[in-house]
Chains A and B, each alone.
Chain A
Amino acid sequence: MKLCRLKIILYCLSLFSYIAGAAEHILDAVQSDATSADISQQGFDWTPYQKAWHDDVQLHGFLSQGLFNSSGNNVFGNSKNSVSAGLTEVGLNISYQALNNLSFALQGLYRRAGESTGSAGEVSLDFGFVDLTLIDLSAIRIGVRGGRIKNSWGLYNETRDVSFTHPTIFLPLIYFERSRSMMLAMDGGQVYADYNSAIGDFSFKFNYGFMNDNKELLLSITANPNVGGHLDPEKSFMTQLRYDIDGGKYIFALSYADINMGYVAYGAFDPYAGMQTHIYPIVVSAQYNGESFNLTGEYSYQWNEFSNFSNRADARPISEHWYIQAGYRLLDNVEFTVRYDASVQDISDRKGELFQQLTGLPSHLAYTKDWVVGLRWDITPAWMVRTEYHWIHGASMVSALDNPDAMNIAKDWNIYALQVSFRF
């Protein structure tokens, strides 16, 4: 299923690049005719410059390595009372503006993130799509994209693996690490519209297609480490309306998603055969970016429906995540950040008592409260180093893969983290 979809994407990309190549040849021929006509009329030619293809190709990338030390629970590998170098992110992208209204972009990602990727890490196609602008006026741009497209979700989801683009090493709990691969990108299409007005810039995106399946999410839904099958992505959408005032001094965004997953059973007696997952979260985001002070808040309210179990009743928990974060630039390139972050898996069971009764697991797996302080130093525009400390109460965010012994997951714990990043 997954391989088949990848093949379709690659086929579409190659087809489009062929069409674009042919179209460009025709356009070049037309342009050179026009140029010679100009020469004869004006006596001299002031545009001898022939556009070379490499002027419209850009290559960019990033690389980051994290170090983690924690008490109580593991993060990104074996960090408990030890040091783990378990988070490595390497990305390389190429973009090609083939025509004024047609472009291509592709990014490969290598990621090693504790047990969820294994010690060898994983290589994936992060995005790869064709972008066709249908309307491009000075204030309005409307277009479509097809392929694998990043999901605009809250303020940080679409660039969550690019350390430079978010303020702390650990993202806020809204961007749940175990939902990462599900939320990351859409295999399908996007309609986008940008409108730049006197009162600010509006940006709308609507992604439709298939999300990616996720082992950690499955473990969390079933609360069963021995579950054998895997989630099967079904048609889903994700949409965002974003409003930037004064060049991004104030940013407001509203995001909504409707995610559906089936289940591919493992063997004939799999108790989860027929299970359906339906998740539909909404996120409200607001940010102020001053010269030296910034303030960010995001609130997420998430409806979950887990149904058609053969061995237990349907569940409809509502999860809630929110945070407030303040940053202050001590110097132009040194920033201090403090954040309070809170998350509950089910708002009708904030202390996890019901969860404990149903699953027999510790109640603190149902919530997390996290205080973070961090310091970021952009040594040069290409190099950045940062460090942070977390005081955490609760453990809903711990990875079941990094912490297989659920009964021994600590309730109050801390993380110290350090990260070095490079980009070009």
Chain B
Amino acid sequence: MRQYFMGKGRVLKIYKVCRLIIVHALLIYTPCSLAVEVITHTDASVSLTQVKDLRAIFSMRLRYWPDGSKIRVFVLPDNNALHKKFVKEKLHMFPHQLRRTWDRMTYTGTGQPPVTVNSNAEMLEKIQNTPNAIGYIEINEANK
């Protein structure tokens, strides 16, 4: 089994990158400012075009992809400019609203908040290497 994986290692990696689906969800493109895009690493066929679906995922209310695998949510810190932009443009919310929801789960034991990463590069790396992950990146970085 292990040998099998090693032999196919190269294929695996390329395939993984192909699996990095970039979802165009309500993108308002303005040329002078940075744009934010939702990215996922999943085999489940999902269409994340609705604000309410993204909201449910990032509020940790929707916890599983349609194929039953657990959604792994990654976010940048509350005070990060891209995070603020993402929450406003993609979720139509404010960072303090999300924080309230996450804190209630965390400190009552009723749920687990998303994993916080510290940079755009770390976000991209986590999404690429974590199956069933979802996060967001600056669109220019994704096109590189």
Chain A residues engaging chain B, CB cutoff 8 angstroms: 36, 39, 44-49, 55-56, 58, 60, 62, 91, 93, 95, 97, 100, 105-107, 127-129, 131, 136, 138, 141, 145, 150, 158-159, 162, 164-165, 194, 196, 198, 201, 246-249, 289-291, 332-333, 378, 380-381
Contact = CB atoms under 8 A, between A and B. Distances in A.
B29 interface: no
A141 B8 CA distance: 40
A64 to B, nearest CB: 12
A105 B77 CA distance: 24
Given A46-B19, A95-B109, A131-B109, 4 more contacts: A45-B4, A55-B72, A159-B104, A162-B103
B5 A45 contact: yes
Contacts of A60: 106-107, 113
A196 B78 contact: no
B79 A162 contact: no
Nearest to B100: A248
Given A93-B107, A165-B107, A39 B84 contact: no
B70 A100 contact: yes
Contacts of B113: 58, 60
B24 interface: no
Interface in B13-52: 15-16, 19, 43, 52
10 contacts: A48-B12, A107-B109, A127-B109, A131-B110, A158-B107, A164-B103, A198-B52, A249-B97, A289-B100, A332-B84
Contacts of A248: 93, 97, 100-101
Contact of A46 (B12, B92, B109, B112): B12
A198 B50 CA distance: 11
B43 A332 contact: no
Nearest to A46: B15
B113 to A, nearest CB: 8
A128 B109 CA distance: 8
B68 A100 contact: yes
Interface residues of B, number: 48
Nearest to A201: B61
A89 to B, nearest CB: 11
A93 B64 contact: no
A27 to B, nearest CB: 12
A49 B1 CA distance: 13
A165 B4 CA distance: 50
Interface string B57-97: 00101111000101010000111000010000001111111
Contacts of A162: 103, 107
A107 B107 contact: yes
Interface centre among B56, B104, B111, by most chain A C-beta atoms within 10 angstroms, is B104
Contacts of A196: 52, 56, 61-62
Contacts of A36: 1
A189 B144 CA distance: 53
Interface in B85-142: 91-98, 100-101, 103-104, 106-113, 116, 130-131
Given A46-B15, A100-B70, A332-B79, A138 B109 contact: no
A245 to B, nearest CB: 11
A274 to B, nearest CB: 36
A105 B109 contact: yes
Contacts of A127: 108-109
A247 B107 contact: no
Contacts of A380: 77, 79
Nearest to B7: A44
Contacts of B59: 247
Contacts of B107: 60, 62, 91, 93, 107, 158-159, 162, 165
Contact of A381 (B64, B78, B92, B111): B78
Given A48-B5, A164-B103, A291-B94, A58 B108 contact: no
B101 to A, nearest CB: 6
